Amino acid sequence: MLGCMITAGCDVGSLTAKAVILKDNKIISSYISGVKSTPIASSKMVMDEVLRLSNLALSDIDYICSTGYGRYDIPFSQMNMSEISCHGIGAFWVDNSIRSIIDIGGQDCKVVLVDEKGMIKNFIMNEKCAAGTGRCLEILAKNIGTEIGRLGDVSLKARKKHVVITNKCSIFMELEVMDLLYRDVKIPEIAYGINAAVAKRVAAMAQTLKIESNVCITGGVSKNKGVVAVLETLLKKKFKPLPVDAQLMGAIGAAVFAAKECASRSKAA
């Protein structure tokens, strides 16, 4: 159904931008980069890069769909879809047994339930408070002098898992982390506490929906093994491993929507 066409998805988030090109229902190139000053600049940069990687020109792409927080401003896209829909359809497209998706991004966190056709059944989202998002991890990682990308690995080195961060506000957590540093608590143990605190916030939100057992985790924070491990324990579920980079899920979903739209248009024509 989705054959013989080239579509692209562009996901401009709060901290990173992603682009994916789909050809004949397969990913042929993808790219992730930190955001630039405006969503337009970010989208152009990642789009140019995926085109270069796949040796294509913008005119070769049949249809482009944008998503993410900056999705309304993308000049080259023909349609846009919400992040919720894109994460839902993207994860379902990658593995059609998936029914629940937990997405932890830079400035939001959401849980999406999909049906056996990949359509959204229900969702819940936090975009009001930084606790439970990548932003919170970024702030706290900086406090212990660790890069956000290494926070997961560092936390896995913790000998004891006794650090509990009780505050709910990222800035107050920062203070608690400083207090732990003053008390000479080891960095991996603090890193564990940080990851556990974020996982706890996400779990509290996820538990308000009925999560099914075929669940996966997407978004940048899904690369943090520490958060993932604690979240699996709290939810008493194992996340299904995905064959693609889970941070690309929004962009993949957008490209899938573009392909569907393109197919229905050519059918109509």
Give contact residues for other proteins (rule: CB under 8 A): 14, 37-38, 107, 128-130, 135-136, 139, 168-172, 175, 178-179, 181-182
Nearer to other proteins (CB atom), residue 72 or residue 172: 172
Write out the DSSP string of 37-72.
SSHHHHHHHHHHHHHHHTT--GGG-SEEEEESTTGG
What minimum distance in Å lies between the beta carbon of 221 and other proteins? 15
- Closest Cα partner for 169 from 142, 144, 201, 138? 201
Nearer to other proteins (CB atom), residue 113 or residue 185: 185
What minimum distance in Å lies between the beta carbon of 94 and other proteins? 30
In this structure, are residues 11 and 251 in contact, taking their beta carbons and an 8 Å threshold? yes
- Which pairing describes strands 120-126 and 109-114: parallel, antiparallel, or unpaired? antiparallel
Nearer to other proteins (CB atom), residue 9 or residue 106: 106
What minimum distance in Å lies between the beta carbon of 206 and other proteins? 20
Cα gap 137→133, rounded to integer Å:
7
Nearer to other proteins (CB atom), residue 201 or residue 237: 201
What minimum distance in Å lies between the beta carbon of 17 and other proteins? 15
β-pair partners for 110? 103, 125
Nearer to other proteins (CB atom), residue 82 or residue 107: 107
What minimum distance in Å lies between the beta carbon of 128 and other proteins? 6
- Which pairing describes strands 215-218 and 26-34: parallel, antiparallel, or unpaired? unpaired
Nearer to other proteins (CB atom), residue 117 or residue 128: 128
Answer positive or negative: Cα dihedral of 39, 109, 227, 248: negative
- Closest Cα partner for 160 from 140, 195, 185, 194? 185
Cα gap 100→172, rounded to integer Å:
31
What minimum distance in Å lies between the beta carbon of 127 and other proteins? 8
